[in-house]
Amino acid sequence: MAPRITDGSISSVAAALRAGEVSAVELMQAALARHDAHDEKLHAYKYLDADAAMAAARRADERLRSGDASPLCGIPVSVKDLYGVSGMPTFAGSARQLPDDPWSRDAWLVRRLLEAGAVIVGKTHTVEFAYGGVGMNPHWGTPWNPWDAEVPRIPGGSSCGAAVSLWEGSALLAIGSDTGGSIRIPAAFSGVVGHKTTKGRWPTDGVVQLSTTFDTVGALTRSVEDSIHFFGSVDPRWGDPSPLFESLTMTSVEGLRIGVPRCAIWDDCQRDIRDVLNVALSELDSAGAERIEVDGRLIDDAYELYMTGGIGKAECHAFLSARLPQWLELLHPTVGARLENPLALDSEAYRQAIAKQRRMAAFAAPLFGDTDILVLPANLITAPPVTDVVDDLARYVEVNGATLRPTCPVNLLELCAVSLPAGLDASGMPVGLQLIARGGDDEALLGVALAVERVLGTGLERMGVPPLLVDGSTSG
């Protein structure tokens, strides 16, 4: 039984824990065994303390025995190394550990998880200060995308170790952050689900800042069902997933109006990836959904402002200059070169960029027209080999722009979105379908995503097991 404990949905594992069919200690032992089996190649974690994880699992068992068992009690969770976690170092992907005060105090979302009895396994690798969508970390090594067993390909970033930890089986839930796509990009490239929450829905307290304008926190999971379980467990409006599940009125895609924006993102999508997405959308059509073309010019304009307006660069550089000035000189060129010549926060150019961003966000609602949801690719290109970008800054910048292209408009327009697996491209690498909803409609978005998943299947059902993990000890 133990080798398969980590294969179930979070809901089913939580039910088994509450029923006493399995203990949190047994679950953690299985999770750590998965880590030991695959870590040498997958390299998902910057920091993992097995003894501390086992001690936390024993405390979770005490809560389970006492009846104080929330729906996340005993569930193994990985946390992006951008979050403060008490007793754990924070590097934020940089070459040197950040000061313990305040970066080793529990971030808001970490506190919510711990209050719910979740067990933190360790901290997963991130791009240096989360500044990039490629997923490389030249300081500590780049996690291996498990969908190519022979060639190390980028996992997507900046939450690069998060998705990999899910396939490894060491975590059933992976906490990340999303500033321009940093949850959805690795979800798409690595074949899992990633939910970018509405800006301001949850505090970013205790998370190393990239951009005060765009930063959001959330999670990657192995299914939409798991995402809903997590969201309902930690969101203060719910506090339990059961009422959230009960509130989801969309049980099928029958009558779902899917908006397909006319925009350059679709035009520039790699042909085989577009083919995979069209197959998935055709399956939704056959199940009763309706596709409607909508004017997507605002999406293209949002991408242009995100990439050229300098908002994120200005805010990241200002944060480092004020809080971590010594770290600026340690930045790897893939990050440091792109942070050069930032706008000053008190400059007229920065104020104008912020004003333009707010105007765009204010006019985002008409994008949807009479539709329930918008769809875009979550990745435009096949995840390239790490060797293609590691020593070539120009190529890195090109790939980084391609990774951000379909996702960053969502952040600039203050919307919410989910990436879920749609299939495999011609190279056998995952393709992500991005569902986008109006800002504040996270619950409705998750309901639609669940209905879509029931048609398309989970990543495991649709794509199978990543080749690197086909060895009899896959994580599901």
Range 144-165 burial, b when 16+ CB lie within 10 A, else e: bbbbbeeebbbbbbbbbbbbbb
Strands 173-178 and 216-221: antiparallel
Taken in order 40, 106, 218, 300, the sign of the CA dihedral is: negative
Give the integer Cα–Cα distance in Å for 146 and 41: 9
Strands 173-178 and 119-124: unpaired
Say how many residues make up the chain: 476
- Phi and psi (nearest 5°) for 430? -65, 150
Q: Is 46 a catalytic residue?
A: no
Question: Which residues lie below 8 Å from residue 457, measured CB to CB, with a gap of 6+?
Answer: none
Q: Which of 377, 421, 406 is nearest to 222 (CA)?
A: 421
Helix, strand or coil, per DSSP, at residue 289: coil
CB 136 within 8 A of CB 129: no
Q: Which of 287, 251, 290, 305 is nearest to 372 (CA)?
A: 290
Range 325-352 burial, b when 16+ CB lie within 10 A, else e: eebeeebbebbeebbeebbebeeeebee
CB 395 within 8 A of CB 388: yes
Q: Which residues pair with 394 in a beta bridge?
A: none
Q: Which of 78, 158, 159, 419 is catalytic?
A: 158
User: What radius of gyration do the chain's Cα atoms show?
Assistant: 21
Q: Is 80 a catalytic residue?
A: yes
Instruction: Find the helix or strand (DSSP H, E) in which 336 lies.
Output: helix 333-336
Q: Which of 80, 196, 199, 313 is catalytic?
A: 80
Compute the 3-state secondary structure of the chain and give helix, strand, coil in percent, each to the nearest 5.
45, 15, 40
Give the integer Cα–Cα distance in Å for 233 and 238: 7
Structure-token pair, residue 6: 């980590």
Distance between terminal CA atoms of the chain? 14
Q: Which of 182, 190, 211, 233 is catalytic?
A: 182
For residue 83, what is the DSSP state? B
Q: Which residues pair with 437 in a beta bridge?
A: 416
Q: Is 182 a catalytic residue?
A: yes
Helix, strand or coil, per DSSP, at residue 265: helix
Mind telling me the catalytic residues?
A: 80, 158, 182
